Chains A and B, each alone.
Chain A
């Protein structure tokens, strides 16, 4: 923002520009607050509508707040649908994929950062190159493979195929590079074997990396939709994302139920994010800056 007023005498210019600066600051923050409100609006509307009876969601004009507090959508969700099961399924799938990916990526990332071995660079570039491919080209062959394995409608189908995460290995390596090599050498002198160096020395020092990757993996698995849509058609094995759109019912009129489910589906992610936001943002930024 050009705030210099060069034609005026210096002293005068400084006081006007200070006033103008403050005006700019107030104006900018008002606009930003408006944008924050617009960002929050769909959430507020969703939460509010989840507490409305059906007829009120679709009455015109729309009211932002429900007329009366109406928790029936939530109770119905737990009594008349398989919501508890779907919630549990999603936790098992997201948790399982997170743990497996973490183990694979930390081990491999650590090896790429701290050991020398033939073909190291080539293998790593090979992994990075896979990041540019849109994963949708995997859908058809992976589906055929899952049919062959008899894995359709199981937890395995949602946990195993996407556990080897290329972005994860990249971040795990970045964090491992920062580990002091002396630490490992000292332990080696004391007679520690390589496995205990990894579990006793590297991992405790890589807690931030584990947190970052853990959140990213969990969030990704929790919000997955396309893959479950293809490989799961048994209602009992649904994850929340698959179940939500079906809650509308055959006539698309049970919107309150859907929105209550959507609110509950979003809660775990938001809770994790609020408690660990520092790690989350750090991880994403590391991806951008080092990528």
Chain B
């Protein structure tokens, strides 16, 4: 900041040094600089995040079709949602995705992490190889994953059905994306493929932070592997477990790309997710008020579940 050059013609140099802008800046820069540093972030944050969050809430109480003038309708968007069968179906589907990650994906990721961390994989190189191999699907965009699984799941000529037929004959074909009873499971399977590695990585990070001596001491005292796992490892991992559970539930309720591209929400709305319904309402039918109400219902669900988790794990903590 070349402020001292701002008044080169000033006669009294000493006066400038003690009363000029340069002197003021030198004395006060440490107070002002932090605000200058956070200002660019907060300006964008305020314009593109804080304001829209509030604006969205405001819109959700209005009827607005496209760019027409919003008309205040009170709670009627929310009341209409309660009676909307397609919305109900989307909540059910998103909840099933979340349950799938909670009861299938996270336990799998946990087992994977514990096994890779244990003596069952004694070679360091192999440990890091597994870590990488299971992690790579995460790098792939939802679009590419949906396209890949689109051909894997194809009814007539997909790799999976092709394999099933060669093993069990024509009757073994599964309508991965066309059978209403199967389609949610197909999406969950895809999510397991894509995200188990990431969650496993989080657990591994947590496991590496547990001092080995604790487990060794317990083993010396005659505790078996199961006791050590349930009495020492899992309680110490509680913060990581909480983080994984909250992010996984959050992520499951935000699924869009995979069902949108794989099934378009079908068959019979059995795979439509909440975000997909929001997208269709807002950007295919331009029913912006209703779409915002869906968004705020999503917030309500996600935040409530996060609070329940915090409460559950927090209460758990006080027992020990």
Q: Residues of A at under 8 Å CB distance from B? A: 1-4, 21, 24-25, 28-29, 32, 35-36, 38-43, 45-46, 49, 57-62, 64, 103-105, 107-108, 110-112, 115-117, 120, 123, 127, 130, 132-145, 147, 160-164, 166, 169, 193-195, 198, 219, 222-223, 225-226, 229-230, 241, 244-245, 255, 258-259, 262, 265-266, 269-270, 273, 277, 281, 284-285, 288-289, 291
In this assembly, does B220 line the interface, its C-beta being within 8 Å of a C-beta of chain A?
no
Within 8 A of A (CB), among B106-156: 112, 115-116, 118-122, 126, 130-137, 139-145, 147-149, 151-152, 154, 156
Count of B interface residues, CB-CB < 8 Å: 98
Within 8 A of A (CB), among B172-221: 193, 197-198, 201-202, 205-206, 209
Q: Determine whether the beta carbon of A262 is less than 8 Å from that of B296.
A: no
Question: In whole Å, how far is A193's beta carbon from the nearest beta carbon of chain B?
Answer: 6
CB proximity of B158 to chain A, nearest CB, Å: 7
Query: CB within 8 A of B144: which of A32, A36, A141, A266?
Result: A266
Does B61 count as interface, using CB distance less than 8 angstroms? no
Instruction: Report, nearest first, the 7 A-B pairs whose CB atoms are least far apart.
Output: A223-B141, A111-B37, A137-B295, A141-B52, A115-B34, A285-B205, A164-B44
Contacts of B55 in A (CB 8 A): 141, 144
Are B44 and A262 in contact, with the CB atoms below 8 A? no
Quick check: B240 and A289 within 8 Å, CB to CB?
Answer: yes
Which of B134, B139, B250 counts the most A-chain CB atoms under 10 A from its CB? B139
Indicate if the CB atoms of A164 and B143 lie closer than 8 Å.
no
Q: Shortest CB–CB separation between residue B95 and chain A, in angstroms?
A: 15
Q: A1-B118, A134-B298, A136-B298 are in contact. List 19 more A-B contacts (CB 8 A).
A: A39-B197, A42-B148, A46-B144, A103-B40, A117-B31, A127-B45, A133-B53, A137-B296, A139-B279, A140-B288, A142-B48, A142-B52, A144-B67, A160-B48, A194-B30, A255-B151, A259-B147, A269-B141, A288-B201
Q: Inside 8 A of A28's CB, which chain B residues have their CB?
A: 115, 120-121
Partner of B202, one of A136, A142, A288: A288
B240 and A104 contacting across the interface, CB-CB below 8 Å? no
A161 to B49, CA, bound (A): 8
A230 to chain B, nearest CB (A): 5
Give complex CA distance A189, B158 in Å.
69
- The answer to whether A61 touches B38, judged by C-beta atoms less than 8 angstroms apart, is no
**Which of B257, B291, B306 contacts A225 (CB under 8 A)?**
B257
In the assembled complex, which residues on chain A have CB atoms less than 8 Å from the CB atom of B147? Answer: 46, 244-245, 258-259, 262
Of the candidates B132, B134, B163, B292, the one whose C-beta lies within 8 Å of that of A137 is B292
Task: Please determine whether A226 and B141 come into contact, CB atoms closer than 8 angstroms.
Answer: no
Whether B1 contacts A61 by the Cβ 8 Å rule is no
Contact residue among A1, A24, A39, A223 (Cβ-Cβ distance under 8 Å from B133): A39
Q: Which residues of B contact A115 (CB under 8 A)?
A: 30, 33-34, 37
B159 to chain A, nearest CB (A): 5
Task: Output the residue of B119, B147, B162, B206 with the most chain A CB within 10 A.
Answer: B147
- The yes or no answer to B253 lying at the interface (CB within 8 A) is yes
* Chief secondary structure at chain B's binding surface: helix
Which of chain B's residues have a CB closer than 8 A to the CB of A291? 243
CB pair A194–B33 under 8 Å, yes or no, is: yes
- Which residues of the other chain, A, contact B279 by a CB distance below 8 angstroms? 139, 226, 229-230
B56 and A60 form a contact (CB under 8 A): no
- Which residues of B in the span 270-301 have a Cβ within 8 Å of any Cβ on A? 275, 278-279, 282-283, 288, 291-292, 295-296, 298-299
A62 near B159 with CB under 8 A, answer yes
User: CA–CA, A199 to B256, complex, Å?
Assistant: 40
Assuming the contacts A1-B225, A127-B45, asked whether A225 and B162 have C-beta atoms less than 8 A apart, the reply is no
On chain B, the residues within 8 Å of A36 by CB distance are 130, 133-134
Given contacts A45-B152, A134-B253, A162-B48, contact A32 B116 (CB under 8 A): yes
- Which of A64, A241, A262 has the most chain B CB atoms closer than 10 A to its own CB? A262
Asked if A136 and B120 sit within 8 Å, CB to CB, the answer is no
Which chain B positions have C-beta within 8 A of A137? 52-53, 56, 292, 295-296, 298-299
Measured CB to CB, the closest approach of chain B to A192, in angstroms, equals 11
Pair B282/A139 contact, Cβ less than 8 Å:
yes
Q: A134-B250, A140-B295, A262-B148 are in contact. Are A193 and B302 (CB under 8 A)?
A: no
Cβ-based interface call for B89 (8 A): no
CA distance A52 to B132 in the complex (A): 29
A147 touches B291 (CB 8 A): no
Contact at A140–B44, with CB atoms within 8 Å? no
Docked CA distance A229–B31 (Å): 43
Contact B202 A284 (CB under 8 A): yes
Q: Is A136 in contact with B41, judged by CB distance below 8 angstroms?
A: no
